[in-house]
A and B are shown apart, each in its own frame.
Chain A
Amino acid sequence: MVVAGLFVMGAVAGVFGALMGIGGGIFLVPLLTFFFHLPIRAAVGTSLVAVIATSAGVAAFAPKGKGADVSLALRLEMATTAAAIAGGWLAGAFHPRALHILFGLVTLLTAGYMVYKTKSKREATAPESLFRSDYKPKHWPIGMTVSSIAGLLSGLLGVGGGFIKVPVMYAVMDVPLGVATATSNFMVGVTAAASVFVYYSRGDIHPFVAVPTAVGVFGGAMLGAFVLSSIRASWVRTVLIGLLFVIGAHMLIQGLHG
């Protein structure tokens, strides 16, 4: 029963993770600690395995021409991976409540900026496309800086950081939302790979928890990658904004009230 529960939870996180380009770790850590009473480090270790499974599931089954922009992903990943290493070093120096408040503020600011961008894009007459090839990423310095912050938070909090990368690529760098989610899915796998072996060698990964979750996530991610090519950009954007507000508020309240 518990195995089935982990599988279903993983599958749901995989679908949303693939659709939003956020890996799913941000849902899994709270769910594993709250419903399955897992210690936080074991939950983070499981979540990192699951984030890699999301990335692998999306990459394996994304339709041709609707996948990640690997060139863009790797350029941003240079900053993200370096900052994630620094974040891992700094993690011990930060108070957990400060991390929660920082996490919440960054998420809420990102959601607010996406709402602002959505309003300005609504004035355009042409319908928005999830995937198009005629884009050219803009504002590289801002993109690299915010990716560094995402990497730093990844190292500090043990999440993929896709919830920051997607809005930045979409709203700041002008990358189509479908390409941004697929690119983020590629990136979160690489970022998670930088930390997963630390958790592995510390014994913070428990196969009976990680395996059903990862298998569920992989299946969900395949479904998400399939669905992503046939749904409207506005649906993805609305769910992403709603999710960012909920996560941001939750983290901020947790940080302020301990």
Chain B
Amino acid sequence: MGVNISRAGGTSPAPPPSGKADQIEARSHKISLFFSILALTLMLWGLAGGLAEGRFSMPGAPVTPMKELAGPPLTINYLWCMSSGIVLLGILPVLKVAMSAWKFVGARETASAAVALIVLMELAFSILVR
């Protein structure tokens, strides 16, 4: 992911990253990259399909409702693919915060791990309050 988790975030010098933390960091990077590529592939596949079918219009149909994406798809069409890609992209930052929390726990940086969990709770709250 190209991120540094213990450079200077605290008010006291952070402990050196452990080998376990490095492994988690590498795994987090791979997961982020996988989700990004999957989201882009779905979006591009759907866009190409929609253009090929001559469905393009401005601004065009809105996204497929979330409840239709959550269950097994009745039909996988261009709109379903693009909507799924957008949802995956939207989930990515939440996933990154969760992986940061995991890495902070692995590096035994309890204060930073607690902060990451608070941010996760705030994100969950922001979804629930609407």
CB distance from B86 to the nearest CB of A (A): 6
Q: How far is the CB of B39 from chain A (nearest CB, A)?
A: 8
Residue among B10, B14, B62, B129 with max Cβ neighbours from chain A (10 Å): B62
Contact across chains for B2 and A67 when beta carbons are under 8 A apart: yes
Q: Which residues of B contact A82 (CB under 8 A)?
A: 122
Q: Are B90 and A71 in contact (CB under 8 A)?
A: no
B24 at the interface (CB under 8 A from A): no
Cβ contacts A138-159/B at 8 Å (1 or 0 each): 0010000000000000000000
Decide yes or no whether A196 CB sits under 8 A from chain B. yes
A52 interfacial by beta-carbon distance below 8 Å: yes
Question: Could you tell me the distance between the alpha carbons of A179 and B100 in the complex, rounded to whole angstroms?
Answer: 17
Number of interface residues of A (CB under 8 A): 72
What per-residue 1/0 map shows which CB atoms of B94-130 lie under 8 Å from chain A?
A: 1011001000100001001001101100110111011
Contact A193/B6 with A78-B122, A201-B66, A215-B43 known, Cβ cut-off 8 Å: no
Chain A residue numbers with a CB within 8 Å of B59 are 38-39, 42, 206, 208-209
Task: Closest B residue to A7 by CB, please name it.
Answer: B47
Interface presence of A59 (CB below 8 A): yes
Q: Return chain B residues, CB-CB under 8 Å to A59.
A: 1-3, 32, 96
Known contacts A62-B3, A71-B7, A71-B9; is-contact A207 B83 (Cβ 8 Å) = yes
In the complex, the answer to whether A209 meets B60 with C-beta atoms within 8 Å is: yes
The reply on A84 being an interface residue by CB < 8 A is yes
**Complex interface: chain A residues within 8 A of B109 (CB):** 71
Residue of A nearest to B125 (CB): A85
Expressed in whole angstroms, the Cα–Cα distance for A194 and B90 within the complex equals 9
Contact B86 A207 (CB under 8 A): yes
Cα(A69)–Cα(B24), bound, Å? 16
Q: Which residues of A contact B97 (CB under 8 A)?
A: 74, 77, 190
Q: Taking the complex as formed, is A168 at the interface, i.e. its CB lies under 8 A from any CB of chain B?
A: no
Known contacts: A85-B122, A194-B123, A214-B43. The answer to whether A53 contacts B89 by CB under 8 A is yes
Q: Which residues of A contact B100 (CB under 8 A)?
A: 70, 74
Question: From residue 24 to 70 of chain A, which have CB atoms closer than 8 A to chain B?
Answer: 36-39, 42, 49, 52-53, 55-70
* Proximity string of chain B (60-82) to chain A, C-beta cutoff 8 Å, 1 when within and 0 when not: 11110110000000000001001
Query: Closest A-chain residue to B123, C-beta based?
Result: A194
Do the beta carbons of B2 and A197 come within 8 Å of each other?
A: no
- Chain A residues 76 to 124 lying within 8 A of chain B, measured CB to CB, are 77-78, 81-82, 84-85, 88
A210 to B59, CA, bound (A): 9
Give chain A residues whose Cβ lies under 8 Å from the Cβ of B55.
Answer: 208
What 11 additional pairs, Cβ within 8 angstroms, besides A190-B96, A207-B43, A208-B56? A60-B1, A71-B8, A74-B112, A81-B126, A82-B122, A88-B126, A189-B93, A189-B96, A192-B93, A200-B90, A205-B86
Report 28 cross-chain contacts, Cβ distance below 8 Å, ordered by A residue.
A49-B86, A52-B89, A56-B93, A60-B29, A60-B36, A63-B2, A65-B4, A68-B2, A72-B8, A72-B9, A74-B9, A74-B97, A82-B122, A133-B8, A175-B8, A190-B93, A193-B94, A193-B123, A201-B66, A207-B47, A207-B50, A208-B56, A208-B57, A208-B61, A208-B82, A210-B63, A214-B43, A215-B47
Task: List 9 A-B pairs, minimum CB-CB distance, nearest first.
Answer: A71-B9, A62-B2, A67-B2, A208-B60, A207-B82, A203-B62, A206-B59, A189-B93, A193-B93
- Which residues does A use to contact B, with CB under 8 Å? 2-3, 36-39, 42, 49, 52-53, 55-75, 77-78, 81-82, 84-85, 88, 133, 135-137, 140, 175, 179, 182, 186, 189-190, 192-198, 200-201, 203-212, 214-215, 218, 225
